[in-house]
Amino acid sequence: MIETLLPAEVAAVDTTVDRTDVTLFPAEEAQIARAVEARRREFTTARWCARRAMAALGQEALPVLPGLRGAPKWAPGLVGSVTHCAGYRGAALARAGEIAALGIDAEPNQPLPEGILESIGLPQERSWVTRLLRTLPEVRWDRLLFSMKEAVYKAYFPLTGKTLEFEDALLTVDAERGTFRAALLRDPAAGPGAPRRVLTGRFSATGGLVLSAIAVPAVRHATPAQTAAGAPLLV
């Protein structure tokens, strides 16, 4: 499912069934030694997805351990992202020379708990969420907004080493094309006078899930503006 939202350079693997035939590396096993069964299943199956994505890129299987702020640590030369929710696990990986950062997120296609939309959504975002819930009610646009913001932050942190808050990115969507645009209102990684960083991605609603994905292309020949910003400006 998630592979349809990502470019060909990305190896993406997902599943709706937990795997029981996965042998974790000792360092991975140590991470979940005291975890409840549900956490063990999602952690293990997500590593299975990551191993298959590594194999698709011709890379040997290596442990995937949490790093700063829980972001997965990948082998040198790789970038990636992992997501899981009830009934879904997925991983996406690419070579750093082709893709600078990845962010994927999956959520159930169900309403957000009461009060959450107000805490994560800017007024402009809440406006289009309300409108689209009326015109296209089969998609929970409130939950999709949350998913898209998660994808933004998952891509931004490994790319820059900086964190964002929910209100730092203003998202707009093209419901017909299945794309979204995130304009950063606050960009802690940008230098003085740098143009506003914009990330774009794709989304879908299928199989009881909403999925969001961002792939930031590697900049092989950076312009002065991109150098000032410290990272790709446009996806």
Per-residue pLDDT, 188: 87
Q: Hey, what are 110's tokens? A: 């169900």
Per-residue pLDDT, 136: 95
Three-state secondary structure of 130-197: HHHHHHCCCCCHHHHHHHHHHHHHHHHHHHHCCCCCHHHEEEEEECCCCEEEEEECCCCCCCCCCCCC
pLDDT by position in tens, the chain (length 235): 899 999 999 999 999 999 888 899 999 999 988 999 999 999 999 999 999 999 999 999 999 998 877 789 999 999 999 999 988 999 999 999 999 999 999 999 999 999 999 999 999 999 999 999 999 999 999 999 999 999 999 999 988 888 999 999 999 999 999 999 999 998 888 877 778 899 999 999 999 999 999 999 998 644 444 433 333 333 3
Exposed, middle or buried: residue 14 (CB in 10 Å: 0-12, 13-18, 19+)? buried
Q: Hey, what are 32's tokens? A: 């979940």
Range list of β-strands (E), the chain: 11-15, 65-66, 72-73, 78-85, 88-95, 99-108, 169-174, 179-184, 198-206, 209-217
d(CA 156, CA 82): 14
Per-residue pLDDT, 27: 92
Give the residue among 233, 226, 235, 181 at the shortest CA–CA distance from 203: 181
- Go through 102-115 and write b for each residue having 16 or more CB atoms within 10 A of its CB, e for each that does not: bbbbbbebeebeee
Per-residue pLDDT, 228: 38
Per-residue pLDDT, 226: 40
Per-residue pLDDT, 227: 35
pTM of this structure: 0.87
